[in-house]
Structure 1
Amino acid sequence: MLKMPRTNYNNTAGLKYHTTQETLLYASLTIGPNCIFLYINSVLLFTLRSKPVFRETSRYILLYNLLLVDIVYLISSALLYLFAVCRIKLTFYMCRALTLLPMLMSVISPLSLTVMSLERFVAICYPLRHTVIITVRSTGVAITLVWVTSSLSTLTQILILIYSKIEFNLQLKDFCSKETVFLVPMSHHFDRVYSGIVFLSAGVTIICSYIGVTLVARSASTNKASARKASQTLLLHLFQLGLILISTLFSPIITAAATIMERSHVLRLSSLTFIFLKILPRCLSTLIYGLRDQTIRPLLIQHLCCQWRCSFQKRSQQVL
C-alpha cells in the first residue's frame, strides 16, 4: 500500500485551512456592513416612534413601514447568506420557511415606494387637499393593502408548490435559496410575471409622479424649494426601485457562477453582489429620509451619538 508523501499532505492541509480562513474573512466583511446598517435602521426606527409628530404624520408612518420591511429583509437575507457561505445544509421545510420572509419583503418594498411617491405627488401637486386625501387612516389602509397583496402573491406560490406532483428531497444538496425550494416551473413563471407587473407599475407611477412634481416646480405659484426636494426624493425612489429589481438576480448570478468558477472566485463574487445588490438598496431609505429630512436628522444624530457614547462609557467603566 503506497503512502502519500508528506509534502502533498501538507499542501492539501494548507489549502483546506486557507479555504476556511478565506470563507470566514469574506463572511465577516459581508455581514459587518449588514450589521452596521441594521443598527442605523433600527435607531431610525426608534426615532420615528419617539415623537408624536412622527406617529401622526402619514409620510413618517410610510417610512416606518418601509424601514421595518428593510430590517426584516436584511436579517433574513444575512441568515441565508451565512448558511450558503458556511455550507450549512438545511432541510426542505426549514429552507422554505427562511425563504418566505425575503420573498414577502421583496414584494412589499416596491409597493411601499409606490405609495410613498404618490404621497409626495399629492403633497406638492394638491397641497390644499393633501390633509384631506392623505390621512392617518388612509395611510393605514394603504399599508394594509400593500401587505395583503404581497401576502397573496407568496401564498399563491406556496399553493402551487403544495399541489404540484414534483418529488423533492427532505435534505437539500445545495445551498438554501428561493430557486432550490420553489422547483415548480409554474412557480417561476408566476414569480416572473407578478414581479414584472409590480416593478413596471411601480416604475411608471414614480416616473409620472416625478413628471407631475417637476411641472409644478416650474410654475411661479408654488414653493419651488419644496417641489425641487420632492422631485429629488422621487428620483432617489426610482433609483432604489431599480436596485431592488436588480437584487432579484442575486441567486441566479451566484448559481450560474458556481458552475463555471472556482470556489474562491465565487466567494468574492457573492460577497460583492451581496453588498451591492442586497444591502445597499435596503439602506437608501435612511439616506433619503434620515439625513435629508430636517426634522428627523437632528434626532437621528442625537440618538446615534447617545448610543455610541453610552456604549463607550460602559466599556470605559469595565476597563477601569
Structure 2
Amino acid sequence: MADNISLVVGGPLLRQINDKVIIVQILVMIFLCVNLLLIVTYFKKESLHTTARYILFAVTLLSDSFLLIMSDTLLIFSYFEITINVWSCIIISFLALLYNMVTPVTLTAMTLERYVAICMPLRHGELCSSRRTMRCILIIHAVSSVPSIVILSIFFASASLSSYTQYSICSVESLMLHRWQDHIKAALYQFYFLIMFISIVFCYVKIMKVAKAASGENRTSKWKGLRTVIFHGCQLLLCLIQLWCPFIETALLQISLRLYANVRYTNYILFSLAPRCLSPLIYGLRDETFFLALKNLIFFSLYKRKINLFDKQIQKLQFAQLDSGALH
C-alpha cells in the first residue's frame, strides 16, 4: 500500500486525477466509518475481549484504519506537492511499511487459530488464551517490522549526511536510492507471502479433511471455518498482487503516461483499499456473535436517540404550557 500512495499529476491529467482523488477520499471515509463502528463494537462488548479471533480481528481493524489514514494523508501531500523533512518521512515510511505487513501476518495468525479450533479443539483454550494472544500480537509486530528495518537500514547505509536535512515529497519510493533495493524489498515480501500462502494451504487441507469426516451440526460449523480460511486466502492474494503492481506500472510508464496513471489508480483501489475492507465483511458481518453485538449497538444507539428526542419534545411541550399559563 505504501508504494501506491502517490499519483502522477500534470498537464491534461490534472482534472481527471482530481476527480479520482475525490473518489479515493469518499472510499477511505466509508471504510474508516465501517472500521470505526466495528472497533467501537469490539470495545463495548466485554465478552469479545477474551476470544483470540476477535482480539486478532481488532488488531486488523486498527492496523488497516491507521494505514488508510496514513496513506491517504501522503496521497494528499503528494497531490498538492507538500514537502516534509526527510527524518519525518523516514518515520512515516517505517510505520507505513510496518502496518502494511501487520494485516497479512495477522490474517495468517487468524487462520492458524481456526485450524487449532477445528482440528485441535481440546487444546484450543490452552493455545489460544487471551495471554498467549497478546504475546502473539507482539510477535506479529516483531515479524512485520523486519522488512521495514532492512529497507531503512540500507537507506541509512547508502544516503549521504546532507540528505537528512532536505525536504521532499514523502513516499517509500523516495527512500529507494538504488534499483537493487527494490529487488531486496520484493524478495523479502515474496518470501513472507510464500510462508503465509503455505500456512493457509496447510490449514485449508487439514480443516477440509476434518470437515468431511464430521457429521450433522458439527460438520456445518467446520465447513463455515473452511470458508473463512478461503476468504483469508483471497485477501492475502490481493495483498500479494499488490507487490507485483510496481513492476507492471514501471513497464507501462515507458509506454504511456495516461495508461500508467489509470493503471496505478486502479491498482490502488483494487489491491490497496479493497483488502482493507474485506476484514470487516468477513468477520464483522459473517460472524454471528460479532454481528449480533454490532446490531445491538446500532439499535441501542437509535433507541437512545429516540428517547432523547422524545424527552426534548416533552420538555418543549411543558415549557410551552408554562408560557401559555403565564400569559393567561
Q: TM-score range by the shorter chain?
A: 0.7 to 0.9
Post-superposition offset of 1:267: 4.3
Structure 1 residue 228 and structure 2 residue 226: aligned? no
CA–CA separation in structure 2 for the residues paired with 1:304 and 1:253: 43
Structure 1 window deviating more from structure 2 (180-189 vs 229-238): it is 180-189
- Unpaired stretches in structure 2, ≥5 consecutive residues: 1-9, 313-328
Give me the whole-angstrom Cα distance separating, in 2, the residues matched to 1:161 and 1:96. 10
Rounded Cα–Cα distance in structure 2 between residues aligned with 1:22 and 1:252: 24
2:74 is aligned to: 80
Rounded to whole Å, the distance in 2 between the matches of 1:203 and 1:290 is: 23
User: Is the CA contact (8 Å cut-off) linking 2:42 and 2:58 kept in structure 1?
Assistant: yes
Equivalent residue, structure 1, for 2:124:
130
1: distance between equivalents of 2:193 and 2:126?
28
Offset of 1:149 from its aligned partner? 2.0
Give 1:68's match in structure 2, choosing from 62, 65, 84: 62
Q: Which structure has the bigger radius of gyration?
A: 2
Among 277, 283, 286, the alignment partner of 1:283 is: 277
SS at match of 1:163: helix
Contact 1:110 1:198 in 2 (8 A): no
Task: Say if 1:251 and 1:209 are closer, same or farther in 2 by CA, change over 3 A.
Answer: same
Instruction: Indicate conservation of the 8 Å contact 1:236/1:288, yes or no.
Output: yes
Q: Distance in 1 between matches of 2:302 and 2:246?
A: 36
Q: Which amino acid aligns with 1:193?
A: A
Matched AA of 2:206: G
Q: Distance in 1 between matches of 2:49 and 2:120?
A: 23
1:92 aligned residue: 86
Q: How much is the aligned-residue C-alpha RMSD, in angstroms?
A: 2.9
Q: Does 2:212 align with 1:218?
A: yes
Match of 1:51 in 2: 45
Q: Which amino acid aligns with 2:207?
A: V
Q: Offset of 1:155 from its aligned partner? A: 2.2
The C-alpha deviation readout for 1:157-192, integer Å capped at 9, x for no partner, is: 2222112256885244xx543222132455434322
| Residues 171, 299 of structure 1: alpha-carbon distance in 2 compared, 3 angstrom cutoff | same
SS at match of 2:294: helix
- Answer whether contact 1:160 1:184 (CA < 8 A) is retained: no
- Could you tell me which of 212, 231, 235 is aligned with 1:240? 235
In structure 2, C-alpha distance between the alignment counterparts of 1:167 and 1:304, rounded to whole Å: 54
Kindly indicate whether the alpha-carbon contact (under 8 Å) linking 2:94 and 2:152 is maintained by their aligned counterparts in 1. no
For residues 307 and 282 of structure 1, what CA distance do their matches in structure 2 show?
26
Q: Which whole-Å CA distance do the structure 1 matches of 2:299 and 2:133 have between them? A: 32
| Contact 1:73 1:106 survives alignment (8 Å) | yes
Paired AA for residue 75 in structure 2: Y
Distance in 1 between the 2:39 and 2:241 partners? 26
Query: Structure 1: how far apart are the matches of 2:43 and 2:65?
Result: 16
Higher helix share: 2
Cα distance change, pair 28–99 in 1 and its aligned pair in 2 (3 A) = same
Cross-structure match for 2:104: 110
SS in 2 for 1:49: helix
Separation in structure 2 between the aligned mates of residue 168 and residue 205 of structure 1, nearest angstrom? 44
State the match for 1:4 in structure 2. Answer: none
Q: Distance in 2 between matches of 1:59 and 1:72?
A: 20
**Structure 1 unmatched runs, 5+:** 1-14
Q: Kindly indicate whether residue 268 of structure 2 is the aligned counterpart of residue 274 of structure 1.
A: yes
Aligned equivalents of 2:262 and 2:181: distance in 1? 30
Partner amino acid, structure 1, of 2:228: T
1:141 corresponds in structure 2 to: 135
Instruction: Give per-residue Cα distances to partners, 1:225-251, cap 9 Å, x unaligned.
Output: 111001000000000001111223444
C-alpha distance in structure 2 between counterparts of 1:23 and 1:152, whole Å: 34
* Residue pair 1:44, 1:300 contacting (<8 A) in 2 also: yes
Query: Structure 2 length as normaliser, TM-score?
Result: 0.80
Shift of 1:151: 2.3
Partner residue, 1:24? 18
What is the CA-CA distance between 1:308 and the residue it aligns to?
8.3
Identify the residue that residue 199 of structure 2 maps to in structure 1: 205
Counterpart position of 1:6: none
Is residue 92–residue 171 contact of structure 1 (8 Å, CA) maintained in 2? yes
Normalising by structure 1, we get a TM-score of: 0.82
The match for 1:9 is: none
Native 8 Å contact 2:106 2:140 kept in 1: yes
Q: Distance in 1 between matches of 2:161 and 2:256?
A: 30
